[in-house]
Amino acid sequence: MSTAQVTIKDLARQLNISVSTVSRALRNAPDINPGTKNAVLKLAAELSYEPNVMAQGLVKKKTKIIGVVVPAIHSNYFSDALSGMTEVANAYDYHLMFCQSNEDAGQEIRSIKKLLACHVDGLLISVSKDTKNTAEFEKVKQLGVPVVMFDRTLPDFTCSKVIVDEYEGAFKAVEHLIRKGCKRIAHLAGPVNASVSANRMKGYIDALAKYGLPVNDKLILRCNAFEEDALPAIKKIIASRPMPDGIFFINDLSAISAIQYMQKKGINVPGDIKVAGFNDDPVSAVIQPSLTTVMQPSYEVGKLAIGILIDAILKPESPEQTISLRTKLVIRDSTK
Amino acid sequence: MSTAQVTIKDLARQLNISVSTVSRALRNAPDINPGTKNAVLKLAAELSYEPNVMAQGLVKKKTKIIGVVVPAIHSNYFSDALSGMTEVANAYDYHLMFCQSNEDAGQEIRSIKKLLACHVDGLLISVSKDTKNTAEFEKVKQLGVPVVMFDRTLPDFTCSKVIVDEYEGAFKAVEHLIRKGCKRIAHLAGPVNASVSANRMKGYIDALAKYGLPVNDKLILRCNAFEEDALPAIKKIIASRPMPDGIFFINDLSAISAIQYMQKKGINVPGDIKVAGFNDDPVSAVIQPSLTTVMQPSYEVGKLAIGILIDAILKPESPEQTISLRTKLVIRDSTK
DNA sequence: CCAATTACCGGAAACGTTACCGGTAACGTT
DNA sequence: AACGTTACCGGTAACGTTTCCGGTAATTGG
């Protein structure tokens, strides 16, 4: 509090002009003498005047703040998306306010309320894995605050959405396994209530179907949480007879942990069993054998999502759209 | 804009009382009849009134927003710290505004200015790896905005700081290698201008010294960027004769990539060479052999940093402090 | 029963900015 | 010479709160 913030009034007083003239000079308004405008701009720079965004927000009813809610920032996917968002936000002079739902629908609602209280101009949301109720989102919409959902969306709620085509990613991965000669392909699926699990599972099933391979329920196992405790499921898969010759994993970490386990058991990857993951974690390029996996364009997802949102903020009547980005199959040694 | 935001005036009008009374009722102010207070609270709940933070901020000169600047959100360390911050921020009803410097000092300054323009109540910063100039931070201080640095700090700038004792972490890791019988321990160091590199290197050197082992410059190699291209350095280390019997890595990813490379070359880990990393990435528990590594309490760092900052915001005369958190050595198979 | 205190409430100013309206000069136009 | 136009500027209200000051009615004390 030592140095008080310099205001538009200070500038007006020092230049012996009115506040409205100063205000006009500061934005690029008409009805202002270029001379006085320059004088104001000069003094403003000298005193390093910064407009008070709260005062501006109060009268303009815009904060230039965008609220972001993700299930967990601790995730390559979401942190990449967030990076993309910051880039675009900087370019358009928007600010990002950030909340985390911890995969909890209640916390998610509290976060949204919190952001709404801050009068964010728009909302960027990736819903938690057991969010079902759309009531809160409808309220946001009624308030006139535009919403864009990314990655994890809510089918029952209509708004602009940016997603990645996980179905196609899974399909491509399994198709790749098939083309490499696998005939008996297992799948380690994710938590049952996450939409990602269902999408990837469907890709797995449809790929099998396309190539006339049977879908065997015994070859489909689940882990209850992401990145955790996939080992029991893996052991079960390995133990099944006849042994599978390929496995498609819900994510890279479980794939890696499986590869390590199989190597210990004397099973050769990719010789005996070929393995594909999902996510393209940094470590996947580094392990031995390097892991074939599905890369998601999460950075792009973030950029696109915030781009659409800013459009919607600037012109509220712009139509809602759903954009689906394609994954990229990264082929490495684990399917050689 | 369909439904206009309900304001304190609306409440006043509907209850036939004045705005000041409503205002008194909403905070827990004295000089108010419990009956009218309840009536206001009830109506506020019904209409789901939310105070306009901008108007509040304008008169109270507080925004309840805390600005955060990190080098890269895409990093287990910083995303964990951010998680910790969100938890405390929620508890104290603060909001987090987020910027990324991308390890660029210029971008860092722009981020700070941006945050300052938003009139954040305080700043949480982890500086980029080539930030040297303290001028910008001094300006922040003069503006009366409290600053807390975490993890990556600036020695020449005095403010509250929360760091982890990487020196001791490195020391413990190398000491552990020595106790496991290693006599010729190599070190893969990080980028030369990052303080983390220097701290961990010093721990490495001092541990060697404590046990009377010579420090051999040929056994100290550098990688220029984190998590990238450690392989050439690793090859050089392995090729040195006599071969080292232990390696301490700047981070887990390079350690893992080294282990994989060594296994391909027929070198047994931990039989021939024992390996320790730094960070405790999730994958480190999962690979074969599992990786001994130094765990940093990044979540705690985030919680502590924001806690200190909020203290400083609430009572501006609270003394500056530096807290150093201890790491935890996670012993796994790579040093067995 | 009167004065003093208390409990409660309303009015108005202020925070920093923008938006609107109006006014004064100077400058053409016919 | 009278009028309309243009260029520029100031005053004021408003945005939604809080804070301070003052005022009225009820309550208390002697």
pLDDT, tens only, B154-186: 989 999 999 999 999 999 999 999 999 999 999
Mean pLDDT (whole number) for A209-232: 84
Residue B65: name the closest of A64, A97, A145, A120 by CA: A97
pLDDT (0 to 100) of residue B145: 92
Q: Do B62-164+298-325 and B166-296+330-335 show the same overall fold?
A: yes
- Kindly tell me if the per-residue pLDDT of B242 is higher than 60: yes
Amino acid letter for position A279: N
A313 token code pair: 């903020």
pLDDT grade for A28, boundaries at 50, 70 and 90: confident
Helices (H), chain A: 8-15, 19-26, 34-46, 53-60, 76-92, 105-117, 135-142, 166-179, 195-210, 231-239, 252-264, 298-314
Q: Is the CB of A20 under 7 A from strand C?
A: yes
What percent of chain B is predicted at pLDDT more than 70?
97
What are the chain B neighbours of A306 within 8 Å (beta carbons)? Answer: none
Measuring alpha carbon to C1', the residue closest to nucleotide C9 is B21
Tell me the CATH class for A63-164+298-325.
Answer: alpha beta
What is the nearest nucleotide to A54, using C1' and CA? C16
Measuring alpha carbon to C1', the residue closest to nucleotide D18 is B59
Mean pLDDT (whole number) for B50-73: 92
Give me the CATH code for the B166-296+330-335 domain, please: 3.40.50.2300
Angstroms from B303 CA to nearest CA on chain A: 15
Question: Taking CB atoms and an 8 Å limit, are A74 and B80 in contact across chains?
Answer: yes
pLDDT (0 to 100) of residue B275: 97
Mean pLDDT (whole number) for B200-206: 96
What's the full length of chain B, in residues? 336
As a whole number of angstroms, the distance between CA B100 and CA B81 comes to: 14
B-contacting residues in A 261-280 (Cβ below 8 Å)? 261, 263-264
pLDDT, tens only, B117-142: 888 999 999 999 888 889 989 989 88
**Domain extents in chain B:** 8-51, 62-164+298-325, 166-296+330-335
pLDDT, tens only, A241-254: 889 999 999 999 89
| CA distance from start to end of chain B | 65
Mean pLDDT (whole number) for B7-29: 92
Question: Taking CB atoms and an 8 Å limit, are A117 and B50 in contact across chains?
Answer: yes
Mean pLDDT (whole number) for B195-215: 94
Please determine, looking at this structure, whether the domain spanning A166-296+331-335 carries the CATH number 3.40.50.2300: yes
pLDDT (0 to 100) of residue B196: 82
Q: Is the CB of A5 under 7 A from strand C?
A: yes
**Is B25 at the interface with chain A, CB within 8 A?**
no
pLDDT (0 to 100) of residue B20: 93
pLDDT grade for A328, boundaries at 50, 70 and 90: very high
DSSP A69-109: EES-SSSHHHHHHHHHHHHHHHHHT-EEEEEE-TT-HHHHH
pLDDT (0 to 100) of residue B264: 84
Instruction: Tell me if residue A140 falls in helix, strand or coil.
Output: helix
What are the chain A neighbours of B82 within 8 Å (beta carbons)? Answer: 73, 98
pLDDT grade for B227, boundaries at 50, 70 and 90: low
pLDDT grade for A236, boundaries at 50, 70 and 90: confident
pLDDT, tens only, B142-151: 888 999 999 9
pLDDT, tens only, A85-115: 999 999 998 999 999 999 999 999 999 988 9
pLDDT (0 to 100) of residue A286: 85
The better pLDDT of the pair B250, B1 is held by: B250
**Is B98 at the interface with chain A, CB within 8 A?**
yes
pLDDT grade for B3, boundaries at 50, 70 and 90: very low
The residue of chain A with its CA nearest to that of B115 is A95
pLDDT grade for B1, boundaries at 50, 70 and 90: very low
What percent of chain A is predicted at pLDDT more than 70?
97
Mean pLDDT (whole number) for B88-92: 93
pLDDT (0 to 100) of residue B228: 59
- Kindly tell me if the per-residue pLDDT of A3 is higher than 60: no
CB A226 within 8 A of CB A152: no
Fold (CATH) for A8-51: 434 Repressor (Amino-terminal Domain) (1.10.260)
**Is B62 at the interface with chain A, CB within 8 A?**
no
Superfamily for domain range B62-164+298-325: Response regulator (3.40.50.2300)
